[in-house]
Structure 1
Amino acid sequence: MEWKPAVNSCESPPMRPKSPRLAVRAIIVEDGRILMVNAWHTAKSALMCAPGGGVEVGSSLPDNLAREVHEETGLTITVGAPCLVNEYHDAPSQFHQVEVFFRCTIVPGTARPDVWTDSEAVVTERRWLTHAELAETLHKPDSLGAVAFGADGPSYDPLEPLAT
């Protein structure tokens, strides 16, 4: 017997959940300080994060990361090994992001501009923070300090709520 939908059916097919967004982030530590950028360009929150952002299809994770870091900070980096996978979820907006963090270094001789403009107009602040300063600064993910200033091996930070 062939299945046919009801003529006057008001039922919609079940909604498919949104797929998680994939992002890459750079852990850049120099002279005992980690580079952090603002997470929002508005006054929504003082939350800081490692530089990086969403990946573009057809470009490798390291290439995406080098592009994002240059856009957000004006710096040219060498992308090293992955060291942290983080995921978070904002239940009210159903935003779910998976981030892959890489250990990175600034290419020797790279200009370090005091003034730069993020082409996406998101990052308006960048700061170098010591481990103690990071601990006193609102940031995500929670495990960032331990990974940046201690743990050598890969780490996974399980699903955490995005607190702002």
Structure 2
Amino acid sequence: MPIRLATRAIIVQDNRLLIVNAWADPKNQLWCAPGGGAEMHASLPENLAREVHEETGLTVEVGPPCLVNEYHEKATGFHQVEIFFRCKVLAGEVTDDWEDPEKVVSKRRWVTAGELAALPHKPDSLGSVAFNRGFGYDPLEPLAR
């Protein structure tokens, strides 16, 4: 199975990070940054802007990369490399009635660093990178479901 490449958005406004549910199954409470799999023949920023709009309804300006994360699940062979970019909202608002065309994301919320720390989320370094404005690299994390 080939490595899957994904892009994710770090969007911080008023000291709050935008996160979304990671799995379509409502029993799974894992949270992550908005984004998803990169498609061929589009740049990483183009892929990310499309994914953010699909999942949240927001139009974003994609800035510089700030985190590289890697997941590997040996049992299934799933291997994903995610590149996170700092993004700025250009238009739109996060609303409860927005529908993700892929039917994965159904919950969106803005959280403080403390609120994020109390929620199950991936990658582990998400809060540190989002709120401390550094660059992060998580070489390999187990995939949590």
Q: Which residue of 1 aligns with 2:130?
A: 148
Q: Which residue of 1 aligns with 2:10?
A: 27
Contact 2:34 2:52 in 1 (8 A): yes
Distance 1:84 1:61 in 2: 14
Shift of 1:113: 4.8
1:45-60 alignment, distance < 5 Å: 45-60=28-43
Segments of structure 2 that go 5 or more residues without pairing to the other structure are: none
| Paired AA for residue 88 in structure 1 | Y
Task: Summarize deviations over 1:15-52 as a string: whole Å, max 9, x none.
Answer: xxx11100000000000110000011113510000000
Task: Summarize deviations over 1:78-102 as a string: whole Å, max 9, x none.
Answer: 0000000000112221111000000
Considering only aligned residues, what root-mean-square deviation do their CA atoms show, in Å? 1.0
Shift of 1:117: 0.6
Distance 1:147 1:58, change over 3 A: same
Larger Rg: 1
1:1-164 alignment, distance < 5 Å: 18-107=1-90, 110-114=91-95, 115-152=97-134, 154-164=135-145
Distance 1:67 1:36 in 2: 16
Distance 2:58 2:29 in 1: 23
Distance 1:43 1:90 in 2: 21
| Paired AA for residue 94 in structure 1 | G
TM-score, length-scaled by structure 1: 0.85
Q: Which aligned segments of 4 or more residues in structure 1 are displaced greater than 4 angstroms?
A: none
Among all aligned residue pairs of Structure 1 and Structure 2, give the percentage whose two residues are the same amino acid.
62
TM-score, length-scaled by structure 2: 0.95
Segments of structure 1 that go 5 or more residues without pairing to the other structure are: 1-17
